[in-house]
Structure 1
């Protein structure tokens, strides 16, 4: 009898372990049951930081979350906000300047359309504005760009939207703007098809690095007065580009910068977004390996976003880290009942007001 009991007990234990494993597996399956089979992530042009970061992120998502993730080359933040808002892409990368314009319905391509189907996820890094020329161009500063052919990135990107405004605010006239991807504009310089390339991206900018590996170049930023003028006129912060960013630099350069955030569609499952937040913000080593600029991708930088409501999955992650998401940045469904009602009433009023389509 004792011998029979000895044989049965291990079987019961094994059965209990199997049942526990199956239950855990079912619970995990239930949590992941509404996850998308694939996601598209909007980046920007080849040679820019978004493209490098985006390619690294989709590889990491596919490997670790078992969701097929695909990067999509786009025109940049304006395009990405539109793609995520319409559901054509589930994820995207944006700078907060363009994001604010489209969130508030001030986009040139879709005036009056507030892109509120977008939710903020995790902070990434700051995007400073920087200029590169050939060393023998004779162009040494922003003032020297007057009358010159200046590449400013692809149409629809942050750089192409703000560099012309910056130059105008600084009184730089008669600039002949050129629009194309980062790699193309970098190649224009040694071919003498362009005089300068004024760009903005997380540091180091790969297109700048590639250019200086093969040619003698000159890089410059802003004077202190130019920096102050832009900070007074635009929603940008001061930034100093470190002297060791590129081999061609021998001193820090003053600049201004926007913060970058990852975004997602509001209907993405909370558990998926939470898993994505952990994947990125709990593994700083992997993020920095994707691109050095991602060293700034830290949870405490959530306060840099005062534009977009956070996704509930992101809120869950931040709160688990002991961080408080401001009420104004919570999505309507997570706010106190009276505040959610106020938002709904405001949306209803906006929808009831007819749009003036006359010129």
Structure 2
């Protein structure tokens, strides 16, 4: 007789995303594998470049696991980049020190957009899938693994601009002047993101997240048309797919707090919220429709341990004694933060929120 497979732990992070009771509030940190860790910097130097690090599954696995070796984090997030899809589409991703990501072939004409196809995750993005499989195996159920993608609007911003920007005026101009062409691009990207996330789930990711980093740059009507519409499309695709229907999905639209109710109505499982809104207000507005993830100001981690503990308590108290909270920063951790301050935060969140289930 074949022995039964060991049960997979029901991690508190996944329970919180399902808005179920937990013994303590789970915590992970955006960009938790990054430049604030000396071991990350050493691995990055060994890789030779950020892109080589991200595209080598063994090294991506190594840095994904580094923060979990230091801190009692409740989830791992795959070390990758949101611009993997544009790169797989042939736009030529590279990084310039001190300047960030660049695309060698930005979209400048409608014909450039018309030529784009949906990448095959298992061929065009095989290195990501191999990294997911490797991380999941190495985690050995110590913590669940989060897979992620950029949102269609955010990816479109970079693809049109060709680099980072404070305004992404080229993308905004295309949306205003030729909405049909912009929607053609966003539709292709929504298909690509959905396929990419489904493939990560098939490879072993136990939760999925969409980073709508630049949604907050849009005026309300533009946000609904060019960001929210396509986030909802992705949610619908993933929830209609039997393979991803039960995989928790987190949407994080930075700077879009005025749209929380509409984001909750997409059918996602959780919303990330930045630090510019009180988390109690956010919860009051979305009710029990979704879990919330957030939302400590990343700058708090530069303060004293006592201040970090006090601010963590404020976030926990602000959310209140309700199920469905994942503690996180309101955006990514910055490179100047001392690792010992992260340990203070993680330990404080667990200690301050511990209670019997």
Alignment TM-score > 0.5, same fold:
no
Query: Structure 1 length as normaliser, TM-score?
Result: 0.28
Tell which structure's C-alpha radius of gyration is larger. 1
Query: Structure 2 length as normaliser, TM-score?
Result: 0.28
| Higher normalized strand content (fraction of residues) | 1
